[in-house]
A and B are shown apart, each in its own frame.
Chain A
Amino acid sequence: MPRYRINSPKVIHQIFETEVVVVNLETGSYYSVEGAGIDIWRALEAGGSEHEIFEHEAARNFLGELADEALIVAAEEISVPQPAILASMPRDVSLDPPRLRKFTDMRDLLLLDPIHELDDAGWPQRRQPPVQA
């Protein structure tokens, strides 16, 4: 199985008791990681993508979801997991499967298209605000 790491600094996160909130600064999407996904994320943060939690198919599928959203990327270096963090994982992957919820309401606030048009002095033409649905 490939090794993964969190895609920082483009991706920032905060771990709470009941979820992990993750923001992708490049796309403007933010996510809620729930269930056993919290422990999977903690394992990734600790550098332990070879931990036994990843023996579960649900966990491996979840890694695929995170990779598809560019929240994690392939890790080139081998990092040693921090045993204290990985030892404290109470969630059973089969009983409380990992879940990823995506929120895109902030995306329109970011400039997703590059600047194309400049005025005679070299300043960007003023961009029109996105049309609200």
Chain B
Amino acid sequence: MTTSERARTFFDEARAACRCSRVADYRLAGKFVRIRSEEGFESVHRAFAHLRTDIVVPDLEISVSQNSAMPSPPWTTDDYGSRGEIRGFNDARFRTAFDHLAGSLSMLDLERNLALFWTRDVEALPQAELGAPLKTILHWWLDARDALLVHAAAIGVGKGAVLLAGPGGAGKSTTAILCARSGLTYLADDYCAVDMSNPSQVHSLYGTGKLAPPNSSNAKVLLYLNEEPAVRTTAHLPLRAILVPQVDSSANETRIMRATASAAFKALAPSTISQLSGAGAQTFQRLAQLTQTLPAFQIALARDFERIPEVVRQLLDE
């Protein structure tokens, strides 16, 4: 049996076990995506709610399930790769991966544009998954359509947006959410899509964000910024620059400085590649192309955090 035959057999059996009762359509990265879910997946629809639309024929249909009737996996423990990919169930047509932290399976049939997300218990999904639902499926599908899922925040004004790039703790979320609550347009906290065929557009995928409570060492709280009346969201904006935040608690004033393309690339590429199953040389080259065509800046985040939105706005208004 070929890889595609093996994958299709399991995929069709798994999809047939789904008992989806809710259907909603969204416009994601310029494409029409239909999400059919079982009960209990309200969090998925909330994350995409600002991109809700009505369509007749979707470009992609995703079934979302926690059904205990899911068939047993036809692969062994030796078949799990380091980023969750399942050996023997990935080829030009099918993508299959298991997220070990989320305890979830993602499968995509690129020929029929059908996908499946399954988890044993939606209540046990970690915050990272709730904040960026279905990201593995969207990464694979958009990658085949000349678009790129990027681990970055994005914030903007009418003229355009910046990507905020960097590893956890760099200040991406704090900067993005502070800017969103100060009147800038919010596109992303953790993941967004960049259209490589029109390389200057950044697309919002999730209306979520994560923020640590002030003056607290507690874990970050998941927010639905797309539900806050004062926060402005949009589907996409022209992409103007890459901004690399870095906390500088010794400084009195937040400031922006030019950065090199390689600094922007190091802020974007390793975290994007590490967290997206199947991302490799092509993703790497696309990220390099992005950093070599967009201007890059570093924003040193000082103690005057209330000025951060004004500093970002000044950069965007130039």
Contacts and interface: CB of A to CB of B under 8 A. Distances in A.
Nearest to B288: A14
B77 interface: yes
A116 B80 CA distance: 11
A124 B284 contact: no
Interface in B250-304: 260-262, 265-266, 269-271, 273-275, 280-281, 284-285, 288
Given A23-B270, A106-B167, A124-B103, A111 B284 contact: no
B274 A109 contact: yes
Contacts of B288: 14
Interface string A28-51: 101010000000000000000000
B192 to A, nearest CB: 19
Contact of A23 (B80, B84, B269): B269
A121 B266 contact: no
A129 interface: yes
B77 A114 contact: yes
B120 A28 contact: no
Contacts of A57: none
A9 B281 contact: yes
A115 B260 CA distance: 40
B77 A111 contact: no
A14 B265 contact: yes
Contacts of A105: 167, 270
Interface string B111-131: 000000000100010100000
Interface in A89-132: 103, 105-106, 109-112, 114-116, 118-119, 121-129
Contacts of B102: 126
B78 to A, nearest CB: 8
A65 interface: no
Contact of A26 (B72, B82, B103, B262): B82
A88 interface: no
Given A14-B284, A111-B80, A23 B273 contact: yes
Given A110-B82, A121-B70, A129-B101, A16 B260 contact: yes
B103 A126 contact: yes
B299 to A, nearest CB: 20
Given A30-B270, A106-B271, A121 B103 contact: no
B127 to A, nearest CB: 10
Query: Which range holds the interface residue count of chain A?
Result: 35 or more
B100 interface: yes
B213 interface: no
A12 B103 CA distance: 28
- Chain B CB within 10 Å, residue with most, of A26, A109, A110: A109
B73 interface: yes
Interface string A8-30: 11001010111101010110101
Contact of A121 (B72, B77, B98, B280): B72
A103 B266 CA distance: 10
A33 B294 CA distance: 23
A128 B124 CA distance: 11
B211 to A, nearest CB: 17
Contacts of B72: 121-123
A128 B126 CA distance: 10
A118 B79 CA distance: 13
A129 to B, nearest CB: 6
Contacts of A21: 262, 265-266, 269
Contacts of B271: 106, 109
A113 to B, nearest CB: 9
Interface of A: 8-9, 12, 14, 16-19, 21, 23, 25-26, 28, 30, 32, 103, 105-106, 109-112, 114-116, 118-119, 121-129
22 contacts: A8-B281, A9-B280, A12-B281, A14-B284, A14-B285, A16-B260, A16-B265, A17-B260, A17-B261, A25-B273, A30-B270, A103-B270, A105-B270, A106-B271, A109-B274, A110-B83, A118-B77, A122-B72, A123-B98, A123-B103, A126-B100, A127-B100
- The 9 A-B pairs with the shortest beta carbon distances in the complex, nearest first, are A126-B103, A16-B262, A122-B72, A127-B100, A106-B274, A30-B270, A14-B288, A109-B274, A115-B77
Given A105-B167, A105-B270, A115-B80, 16 more contacts: A16-B261, A16-B265, A21-B269, A26-B82, A32-B262, A106-B271, A111-B81, A111-B82, A111-B100, A115-B100, A123-B72, A123-B105, A124-B80, A124-B98, A125-B103, A126-B101
